[in-house]
Structures are given as structure tokens and as C-alpha cells.
Amino acid sequence: MSTTSRTRLHPAAIVSLVIGGLIIIGALAFLSWFLISTSSTPNQQATQKLVQWQEIFEKYRSAHDTLPEMPAGGYCLGTGFPIGAGGTANCRDYDAETHYTEEASAPLRDALASVSELPQGVSAAVRGTVGPYALYDDAGVRLLTAEDGTCEAPAVEVWNDGGGLFICQILLTR
């Protein structure tokens, strides 16, 4: 009669292996959560860009006791906008007649650059609209951008096309 000896794990070794496996699974779950939670969406990035511009406008107001004076109308905030209608770099509805040109916005950018380094880059285009841009009107200075779906706080919705394009705003009163 032949007997085969089997090696058995001690109960403490089994418990150690189970605990080690749970620690590894927990660490992987935490790492996954951390990577997902720290990445921002295009909407969050667009709102963050608006907040950066808001801070520069407020820095200008602090230094000059007023916001930069510009005629009523729209202005691109930043550079690097897509080439659109007229063969120019445009913001807002960059490939339509309702665009604002990056070139015509230079005086506003120059005024703001006198108090701080300007944010770089533009927001992701949504259904033909790209920001950030500023609209000077009687209400004050509206900092606007396009977002895909609902606006991220502190920006608030001022318009949507019913198809996913939301125009989000931070209002600066004079």
C-alpha cells in the first residue's frame, strides 16, 4: 500500500495569504479610484479655464480699480483658437458669422497681461463653439465657454441648443 504524503498549509498561512490578497485588491481599487477622481473632464477643464480668467480680471480690477475698458462686443480669451470663418483664428462660433477673432481681441489680452501671465490654451470645441471668450455688455463682463452637457460650478448656464451645447458663464459686474 502506497501512501502519498500531502503537504498541508497551516491555518495561519492560509489566513496570511487571504489577507495579503485582500490588501493587494484594496490597493488596486484605491489606485483606480485615485486615477479616475483626479482626471478632469473637458467640462471641468473649460470651467477651470474660466476661473483662471476671472482671477486675472479681478487682479486687473484690484490694480486699476476697474475692469479693462473695452467697447461692447465679444473678445477671445487666449490664443490658439481654430481657424474658421474668414480664414482667421476665431472663438465662439468659430466657423460661423457670429465668431470673434483672436486678432481683434489683442488689446484686451494686452491689458490683462499687464497684471499677470495669461492662461494658455483653449477649451474643447462643442458643436462648433469654442471658448473661453468675454462678452462686454451693459450687465458687465461675461466670461463664457462652451460645455458638453450641464455647466460645472461656479459657471452657470446662460443658453443651450437642446442638442448638448451649453454656454456657461461667470459674470463680472462693473
pLDDT of residue 29: 66
83 by DSSP, 3-state: which?
A: strand
List the Cα angle 166/61/48 in 5-degree steps: 30
Question: Is 162 within a domain?
Answer: yes
Q: How many domains does the chain have?
A: 1
pLDDT at residue 148 in the model = 96
Residue 126: domain span: 42-172
Q: With respect to residue 18, please indicate whether it lies within any of the assigned structural domains.
A: no
In a domain, 100, yes or no: yes
Residue 151 within a domain? yes
Q: Where are the beta strands (DSSP E) in the chain?
A: 73-76, 90-92, 99-101, 133-137, 140-148, 156-160, 165-172
The answer to whether residue 30 is domain-embedded is no
| 7, part of any domain | no
At residue 75's C-alpha, the angle toward residues 71 and 79, to 5°, is 145
Rounded to whole angstroms, how far apart are CA atoms 172 and 142? 6
pLDDT for the residue 40? 79
Cell (9 digits) for 60: 486687473
Q: What does pTM read for this prediction? A: 0.78
Q: How many whole angstroms separate alpha carbon 93 and alpha carbon 146?
A: 10
- Chain centroid to CA 71: 27
Would you say residue 35 lies in a domain? Answer: no
Contact 112, 55 (CB under 8 A): no
- Residue 78 forms part of a structural domain: yes
The pLDDT, as a whole number, for residue 19 is 85
Q: Cell digits for 43?
A: 467640462
pLDDT of amino acid 33: 55
User: Which residue ranges in the chain fall short of pLDDT 50?
Assistant: 37-38
Residue 82: exposure state from Cβ atoms within 10 A (0-12, 13-18, ≥19): middle
What integer pLDDT is reported at residue 35 of this predicted model? 52
